[in-house]
Amino acid sequence: MMSERQIASEFQATALSPSRRWARHGHRGGVLWLTGLSGSGKSTLAVALEQELFSQGAQVFVLDGDNLRHGLNGDLGFSLADRRENVRRVAEVAHAFAETGMIVISAFISPLHADRDNARKMIGAGFHEVYLDADLSVCEKRDPKGLYRKARAGFIEDFTGISSPYEKPQTPELTLHTGIDQIEMCVAELLAYADTIFALSETKPE
């Protein structure tokens, strides 16, 4: 029996090419995929960068636990399987946003190499892995939300770095040393990187 799945590809797609949207926005779309331990500064950096890019006139949006965990991924828990499905859906949504020419800043721990690699394959050239390299000891010492303390005390299951693995990126496009450098410096580094990768190519004069 034929399934409707096979039929879906016949649906009419958007007639607007990414390049038309890029021209409108004045920049390319794509995804800055922030990955790192809890407490490594993902949300802080994401929000700071969003502000900066928006002030520059960019179309930019942060995808984080706050806007997805309660909604799209509200049916998922924190087991490794559910975390993987969480990351898969985040990647799909990030991809959809990037296709509208937006700059997406995703801020998720995304602990597994395989999942980040799937996101890379899905999103293609617009995917940029940014590793927030901060030692567990630093993150745990910061512990801004008291989560490590709770995890160590056994009140939180499957906590990345404590009772659930974090696989460091092997070849990220950018590494920020958020455990050592000041936040302002990291934001400046990330901004300089974003300005480069999302810039439209020069159009040749006639």
Nearer to a copy of itself (CB atom), residue 43 or residue 170: 43
Q: Minimum distance between the CB of residue 161 and a copy of itself, rounded to whole angstroms?
A: 13
| Phi, psi dihedral angles at 67 (to 5 degrees) | -95, 0
Report the nearest approach of a copy of itself to the CB of residue 108 (Å). Answer: 10
**What tokens were used for 4?**
């409707």
First vs last Cα of the chain: how many Å apart? 55
Q: How far is the CB of 191 from a copy of itself (least distance, A)?
A: 16
135 φ, ψ to 5°? -60, 150
> Taking the complex as a whole, how short is the minimal distance between the CB of residue 79 and a copy of itself, in angstroms?
11
Which residue number, 93 or 136, has a Cβ lying nearer to a copy of itself? 93
61 or 131: whose CB is closer to a copy of itself?
A: 61
Between 101 and 202, whose beta carbon lies closer to a copy of itself?
Answer: 101
Among 110, 137, 163, 164, the one annotated catalytic = 110
Instruction: State both tokens at 203.
Output: 């159009």
Q: Which stretches of the chain bind a copy of itself, using CB under 8 A?
A: 1-5, 7-16, 20, 24, 43-44, 47, 50-51, 54, 57, 59, 61-72, 77-78, 89, 92-93, 95-97, 99-100, 102, 122, 145, 147, 150, 154-159
**Would you call 40 a catalytic residue per the annotation?**
no
The Cα–Cα gap between 28 and 98 comes to 9
Sort strands 103-107 and 127-132 into parallel, antiparallel or unpaired. unpaired
Alpha carbons within 13 A on the beta-carbon side of 5: 2
CB under 8 Å, gap of 24 or more: what pairs does 149-155 form?
Answer: none
Q: Which residues contact 108 (CB under 8 A, 6 or more apart)?
A: 34, 35, 42, 63, 64, 65, 86, 87, 90
CB of 204 to a copy of itself, least distance (A): 25
Cβ atoms of 50 and 116 closer than 8 Å: no
CB closer to a copy of itself out of 4 and 206: 4
**In angstroms, how far is CA 156 from the centroid of its own chain?**
24
Task: Name the residues annotated as catalytic.
Answer: 110
